[in-house]
Amino acid sequence: MVEDHPVVIEGLRRILAQEMPHATLLEFHTGDAFLQHLRGAQHVVTLALLDITLPDTNGVELCQKVKSQSPDTCVLGFSNHNDRALIMQMLSSGASGYLLKNVSARELMQCVREALSGQMAFSDEIKKIIAKPSAAQVKAVPPLTKREKQILRLIADGKTSADIAAELLVSPFTIETHRRNLMQKFDVNNAAALIRLAAQLQLI
Amino acid sequence: MVEDHPVVIEGLRRILAQEMPHATLLEFHTGDAFLQHLRGAQHVVTLALLDITLPDTNGVELCQKVKSQSPDTCVLGFSNHNDRALIMQMLSSGASGYLLKNVSARELMQCVREALSGQMAFSDEIKKIIAKPSAAQVKAVPPLTKREKQILRLIADGKTSADIAAELLVSPFTIETHRRNLMQKFDVNNAAALIRLAAQLQLI
DNA sequence: TCCCCTCTACCAGAAAACCAGTAGAAAAAA
DNA sequence: TTTTTTCTACTGGTTTTCTGGTAGAGGGGA
């Protein structure tokens, strides 16, 4: 486990000692300490319970590093944050699941077992969050025309207005106009912000 | 089901008729047809099996629309694509699971039942893909310095070099240099492409 | 100690983007 | 068919970014 709250550490330790007496449990209080251990690699770490808010890094970053250094290690996020976007980031960084810190001992052990058997594992509250996307996220997509979507993607590819104009066989002025309309719809004033929003809304 | 391949339709129909004889099965061949049905809303659709490659739209977009129009409908992605990023997009668009078209009847029905009971559901091959991120995705992150990450985020916020300079109390020239270094590291030549890559790599 | 990396800073010119406004043709919706 | 939306195109001016240099200060490791 990688966790910096003593109370949580103690709780986990007891539950695990009781439920899986033969497992070896290691504790780390910072992300770096854990990564360093992985590099040493005396033991193969089969499952890592990562706190998301650590003093020296964040869960997503740590998760990526862990998976890139030790791809077979199963990672479970473990935190108080129930933000959907964060959970998704953890999953796409390679986590096998995510638990809220308010899990019961039963839930915890079930998730651990599921994860060890190769399944995805979530605590009950997290399942609910994952099941339906936040209304805000889905709602806030401004209606884009076909042409606008097309041009948005080309902008994201790093093409200039001139490039795009050449590709679509229209005037560069036209592309500039589309750019302007896109920025207006998203209420931003440059391409960088535009692309970030578009990426968040899965438009590219 | 929303699906445009007759063979697949027929296969699904038979399996479902046998395994869940009391369920009502509706077919749509385009995304729009399905959305229109949802608007009509004679029946409550409890579970939708969405093909990802449809003639008039893509799975991610359709999934978002479906969930925003009918949040309680359970959506399962159903496709030949086993691209990790795509699956993640589907999940964060509200899908409850994802199946490859090569699933066995047994697997299919298991996933359907899991999804109906509120769980996430994946076919076996998909589970493997989700379990470990593609090496490329994790590896290809260029090493950024602290300052660079910070500036990257500010660029994504739509701030100009002058804005950022004022915020960080350094010269605008300095920010320009950082911008240049960032673009070089990501091998792109403007902020739009930079931000897209950064977003894909979860850096912002 | 020397070297490498990071962060800082500057110049100058070219290229691109951004802003504000206008407007016609075509396509889609009412 | 009328109306609205979308796509197209332009002028002209301002701001910002991008490119290609250069370079010093400070920290950390070899």
Q: How many residues does chain A have?
A: 204
**Taking a C-beta distance cutoff of 8 angstroms, is the pair B204, B152 a contact?**
yes
Do both B151 and B72 map to the same domain? Answer: no
Query: pLDDT (tens digit, 9 = 90+) per residue, A60-105?
Result: 888 888 887 787 888 999 887 777 777 877 887 778 889 888 788 8
* 3-class SS of residue A110: helix
Q: Which residues lie below 8 Å from residue A49, measured CB to CB, with a gap of 6+?
A: A1, A2, A3, A12, A76, A78, A99
Asked if A145 CB < 7 A from strand D, the reply is yes
Kind of pairing between the strands at A97-100 and B121-122: unpaired
Token representation of residue A195: 């692309």
Residues B124 and B145 in one domain: no
Evaluate whether residue A1 is within a structural domain: no
Residue B1 is assigned to a structural domain of this protein: no
B64 touches chain A (CB under 8 A): yes
Residue B143, pLDDT above cutoff 90:
no
B192:A194 CB<8 A: yes
pLDDT over 60 (residue A139): no
The verdict on residue B150 lying in a domain is: yes
Residue at a domain's end among B86, B102, B131? B131
Instruction: Judge whether A118 lies within some domain.
Output: yes
**What range does the domain containing A116 cover?**
6-132
ipTM comes to 0.62
Tokens coding B1: 């089901």
Indicate whether B136 belongs to any domain: no
pLDDT at A3 over 90: no
Distance from CA of A92 to the nearest CA of B (A): 7
**What distance in Å separates the CA atoms of residue A115 and residue A121, rounded to the nearest whole number?**
6
Does B84 reside within a domain?
yes
Instruction: Reply yes or no on whether the pLDDT at A110 is more than 90.
Output: no
Which single residue has its CA nearest the C1' atom of nucleotide D6?
A145
Query: Does one domain contain both A144 and A92?
Result: no
| HEC assignment per residue over B133-152 | CCHHHHHCCCCCCHHHHHHH
Q: Are residues B190 and B91 in the same domain?
A: no
Task: Tell me what the pLDDT averaged over chain B comes to.
Answer: 83
Q: Is A14 exposed, middle or buried (0-12, 13-18, 19+ CB in 10 A)?
A: exposed
Q: For helices B59-69 and B84-92, what crossing angle results, to 10°?
A: 10
Indicate which CATH number applies to the domain containing B173.
1.10.10.10
Q: Which of A18-22, A139-143, A182-186, B143-147 shows the highest mean pLDDT?
A: A182-186
**A71 sits in which H/E element:** none
Q: What is the pLDDT of residue A160?
A: 96
* Cα-based distances in Å from B81 to A96, B98, B100: 21, 10, 7
Q: How many Å apart are A160 CA and D28 C1'?
A: 41
d(CA A54, CA A66): 15
Q: Which of A125-134, A145-154, B62-71, B108-117 tops mean pLDDT?
A: A145-154
pLDDT in tens, B154-184: 999 999 999 999 999 999 999 999 999 999 9
Task: Specify if A168 maps to a domain.
Answer: yes
Name the residue among A85, A92, A158 with its Cβ closest to that of B188. A158
Token digits for B65?
A: 């629309």
Tell me what percent of the residues of chain B surpass a pLDDT of 90: 26
Query: Which domain-ending residue is among B131, B161, B183?
Result: B131
Distance in Å, alpha carbon of A187 to nearest chain B alpha carbon: 11
A128 with A156, same domain: the answer is no
Q: What is the pLDDT of residue B139?
A: 47
> What CATH number did the domain enclosing A24 receive?
3.40.50.2300
Number of domains in chain A: 2
Mind listing the pLDDT tens digit for each residue in A12-54?
888 888 888 888 888 888 888 888 888 876 677 779 998 887 7
φ, ψ of residue A65 to 5 degrees: the values are -65, -45
Rounded Cα distance, B102 and A163, in Å: 41
Together in a domain, A14 and A87: yes
Residue B132 banded pLDDT, cuts 50, 70, 90? low
Q: Which residue is nearest to nucleotide D10 (CA to C1')?
A: A173
Is residue A108 in some structural domain?
Answer: yes
